[in-house]
Amino acid sequence: MIISKQKDRQELLAALEGRDRIFLVGCAACATACKSGGEEEVFQLQEWLGGQGKEVTGSVVIDEACHIMRAARDLRQHYAQIEEAQALLVLACGAGIQSVSGSTDRLVIGGVNSLFLGNVRRFGQYEEKCSLCGECILNETAGICPVTNCAKGLLNGPCGGMEEGRCEADRDSECAWVQIYERLKTQGRQGVFARTVAPKNWAKGGKPGKHKLK
Amino acid sequence: MSKLQQQLDAGQFVVTAEIAPPKGSDPSEALAKARSFSGVTAINVTDNQGANMRMSPLALAALLVRQGQEPVLQLTCRDRNRLALQSDLLGAAALGVENLLILSGDHARFGDHPEAKSVFDLDSVQLLQAVEGLTLGQDLAGRSLEVAPRFCCGAAVSPSAEPFELMFQKFAKKVEAGAGFFQTQAVFDPPALERFMAAARPLGVPVLLGVLLVKSARMARFLNQHIPGVQVPEPLVERLEQAADPLDEGVAIARDMVAQARSLCQGVHLMTLGHEERIPEILHQTG
């Protein structure tokens, strides 16, 4: 899931300056689960905008705002309300915001910051475990990603900052390389320690990205 | 061939020390400090140590060469991607810098620019491989160099880090990747050093023991709390606490570690933190 968090209200107010009629867009997928852009948050934002002397011309919560065609279709159904508005305020991740901005000539303002691809521990508590780097070595690291979980993204073992199994950059976190080492040992495997991992091919991330998977 | 390389090859007991580039554009004080070192084969020039922004170590290393002293250029993976690192390495060779120390680098979070993006495009093992590739005339993309540089290239190790096997596998990878010598993190614990050297010796790479001059019990406690991989054992902290002159006591402790190094290692790397005048005393052989 994409973890996102609403921008602070002062920042939003500054972005909306001079725009008094706003159309609101939320997302029924990740932003709803993160409580940053579901029905409830769209409603709260509408209330708040009213209090700021702004008029909300309408709103829609798109099933998955990242779905480009679906976003376009849902927005078409609100054509009149969008025409009436001076800006669309979108409570969805960066992908969702761009589905919307690609479907309208109107000014689009993002109302959230996208943080990371998150695993959910419980609602409101997320963990980042994958960086979507395009070159996965999880099979050799006992299913623990060093690209994401090592503060330095090192590929050949811990840095000199590892101390008592803790990470140099955050003493409250375990060193990812100690975790990898211990889990591999439990499994009786050498895994990634059997080879020197070559420099990472960042080109596999393929930016800017348009992907057709076969 | 660098003096450092020659002495390592000859199996002589090697002494290195270090200076930090200035936080400013005038190198004269750092260069004067380097001139005051005596009995030192080569001088490490730190690379934005602790992720605090300072003058480029490449510039200061080249200035050391110009004043007839031999630098060990420290190069961290934190600040540059593979293009910049290789480019700096070629530049270093052109400026007469032959010795390198390859490091991951402290995370930017600790330094004076905590909002910076840490790069880590390569890790220290991969950068060692890159250095070796350059000396063989090839860059990381497999393209040929017009003229290949020559380096005496070292790496770092924390002999007392735990888990030992995990630390050691990285050490072994660095050896395999072409590290020609090691400078260690400061060690104050002879048994930990003996254990490490027993495992390291068969790999046949010279190890220079990191010897840090601890000036006071307060500093020892600070090291224990804040510097990863450095542990000053409690009896030594007490010695410093009770000493009439803690700095003298620190010198004595450093001398003890140098004596350990003489029997176990191939040299020492001295970190005297502003007390360079005590180096001859620290190196003075007793008994």
Complex prediction ipTM: 0.91
The residue among B206, B187, B183 whose CA lies nearest residue B269 is B183
Q: What is the pLDDT of residue A188?
A: 97
Average of per-residue pLDDT across A196-209: 84
A200 at the B interface (CB within 8 A)?
A: yes
Asked if residue A96 lies in contact with residue A90, where contact means CB atoms within 8 angstroms, the answer is yes
Residue pair A157/B169 in contact (Cβ under 8 Å)? The answer is: yes
A22 token code pair: 């706003």
Residue A123: pLDDT band with limits 50, 70, 90: confident
Residue among A144, A150, A156 with most chain B CBs within 10 A, to mutate? A156
* Homologous superfamily of A2-116: Response regulator (3.40.50.2300)
Which alpha helices (DSSP H) does A22-93 contain, by range? 30-33, 39-51, 68-76, 79-84
Contact indicator for B206, B232 with CB cutoff of 8 Å = no
Sequence-distant (≥ 6) Cβ neighbours of residue B208 within 8 angstroms? B14, B16, B181, B182, B183, B184, B261, B265, B266, B267, B268, B269
Q: Which residue of A has its CA nearest to B118?
A: A152
Whether A199 sits inside 8 A of B78 (CB atoms) is no
pLDDT digits (tens, 9 = 90+) for B106-155: 999 989 999 999 999 999 999 999 999 999 999 999 999 999 999 999 99
Rounded Cα distance between B43 and B78, Å, is 21
- Supply B192's token pair: 């930990």
Burial of A35 (0-12, 13-18, 19+ CB in 10 A): middle
- Tell me what the pLDDT averaged over chain B comes to: 96
Scan for tokens 């001295």, then name that residue.
B270
Is omega for the bond preceding B159 within 30 degrees of 0, making it cis? no
The pTM for the full model equals 0.91
Contact between A201 and A135 (Cβ < 8 Å): yes
Is the model's pLDDT at B156 over the cut of 90?
A: yes
C-alpha of B263 from chain center: 20
- Which member of A152, A160, A165 has the closest CB to residue B120? A152
- B251-283 pLDDT, tens per residue? 999 999 999 999 999 999 999 988 989 999 999
Mean pLDDT, all residues of chain A: 94
Cβ of B123 and A161 within 8 Å? no
Domain CATH code at residue B97: 3.20.20.220
User: Domain of B256?
Assistant: 3-283
Cβ <8 Å between A155 and B123: yes
Chain region(s) in chain A for CATH 3.40.50.2300: 2-116
B189, B164 contact by CB (below 8 A): no
A202 touches chain B (CB under 8 A): yes
Q: Do B104 and A160 touch (CB under 8 A)?
A: yes
- A25-81 pLDDT, tens digit per residue, is 999 999 999 999 999 999 999 999 999 999 999 999 999 999 999 999 999 999 999
Buried b (16+ CB within 10 A) or exposed e, B77-101: bbbbebeebbebbbebbebebbbbb
Total tally of structural domains belonging to chain B: 1
Q: What is the pLDDT of residue A171?
A: 87
For residues B90 and B266, give the distance between their C-alpha atoms in angstroms, rounded to a whole number: 29
Which among B68, B85, B15 has a CA at the least distance from the CA of B44? B15
- The predicted pLDDT at position A206 comes to 65
8 Å CB contact of B125 and A169: no
